[in-house]
Amino acid sequence: EPEVTQTPSHQVTQMGQEVILRCVPISNHLYFYWYRQILGQKVEFLVSFYNNEISEKSEIFDDQFSVERPDGSNFTLKIRSTKLEDSAMYFCASSAGAEQYFGPGTRLTVT
Amino acid sequence: AQSVTQPDIHITVSEGASLELRCNYSYGATPYLFWYVQSPGQGLQLLLKYFSGDTLVQGIKGFEAEFKRSQSSLNLRKRSVHWSGAAEYFCAVGEGVTGGGNKLTFGTGTQLKVEL
């Protein structure tokens, strides 16, 4: 069964550093998403992406964040200058329609 | 703005017992509703969805849910819980538009513990 994959599973970075989180969505899906879950809190929407542009973004998704589909298979989330409060689990999801399928997540730890 | 409430933060059941997890939503139109499960260290797995039509929907792993418009709810049920069902369960609401790109709003989750 096709699934969404994410790399790395765990990323540790220092405050102020740039990080890129990678995702490979399900191959025939056209809609891509990033969500995050701070420890002990609910899953929060960050951004949706379709047809090579952002469809919607939340207030969390400020200028420090960017997304890209650099080729036909990868979907990336870049955080330009990480802050301590960016520490969270980041989930990528993809969909062909309304049902979103999630990857296993990348745990980002900012020290 | 859409919102989801899961009133029970923790639930403990005995193995073999039945289960009902509550979910209430707030949305101005007909929503798309989802239940996901997150096992420890894992991602979110889709259990079932409700879009329209029959108010009783079947999902994977023996789960079902009943949509009640009058109560703005989609409660998740299972007749007999196995110990492997211990996990966190999330209800989510998406905008009721066809196609993709819908932002999902999640509830705070219900942590299920299963006693042997």
Question: Which domain CATH number covers A49?
Answer: 2.60.40.10
Q: In CATH, what number is assigned to the domain containing residue B66? A: 2.60.40.10
Residue A106 lies in a domain: no
How many residues does the structure list for chain B? 116
Mean pLDDT across B100-110:
90
Distance from CA of B44 to the nearest CA of A (A): 6
Identity of the residue in B43, B92, B106 whose CB atom sits nearest the CB atom of A103? B43
pLDDT score of B97: 64
Strands (E) across chain B are located at 3-5, 10-14, 19-21, 24-26, 32-38, 44-50, 56-58, 64-68, 73-78, 87-94, 104-106, 110-115
* B30 has pLDDT over 80: no
Q: Tell me the pLDDT band of B53, cut-offs 50, 70 and 90.
A: confident
- Residue A25 CA neighbour count, 13 Å, CB half: 28
**Inside any domain, residue A111:** no
Q: Do A98 and B90 touch (CB under 8 A)?
A: no
- Residue ranges of alpha helices (H) inside chain B are none
At residue A109, the pLDDT reads 98
- Domain count across chain B: 1
**Is-cis flag, bond preceding A8, omega within 30?**
yes
Rg of chain B over all Cα atoms, to the nearest angstrom: 14
Which domain does A41 fall in, by range? 5-95
Output the six-digit token pair for B67.
């949509």
The structural domain count of chain A equals: 1
- pLDDT mean over B88-95: 92
Question: In terms of residue numbers, what domain contains B47?
Answer: 3-115
pLDDT top residue among B96 and A61: A61
Confidence of residue B113 (pLDDT cuts 50, 70, 90): very high
Residue A34 lies in a domain: yes
Closest CA relative to residue A48, chosen from A40, A58, A39, A38 = A58
Taking residues B12-17, report their average pLDDT: 96
Q: How far is CA B87 from the centre of its chain?
A: 12
The residue count for chain A:
111
For residue B19, the Cα-to-chain-centroid distance in whole angstroms is: 12
Quick one: which of B87, B41, B46, B37 has its CA closest to A107? B41
Q: What is the mean pLDDT of chain B?
A: 91
Supply the pLDDT for residue B54. 85
Query: Contact B106/A44, CB-based, under 8 Å?
Result: yes
Joined together, the tokens standing for residue B80 give 């007999």
Look at residue A102 and tell me if it is in a domain: no
Q: Which two tokens stand for residue B17?
A: 């017992």
Taking CA–CA distances from B48, the nearest residue in chain A reads A99
B89 pLDDT band, cuts 50/70/90, is very high
In a domain, A103, yes or no: no
Question: Which parts of chain A have pLDDT scores under 50?
Answer: none
Chain A nearest C-alpha distance from B105 (Å): 7
The mean per-residue pLDDT over the stretch B19-33 comes to 89
Instruction: Please say if the pLDDT value at position B76 is more than 80.
Output: yes
Determine, for residues A91 and B90 on separate chains, whether the beta-carbon distance falls below 8 Å: no
Closest chain A C-alpha to B24 CA, distance in angstroms: 15
Say whether pLDDT at B95 is over 90. Answer: no
What three-state secondary structure class fits A26?
coil
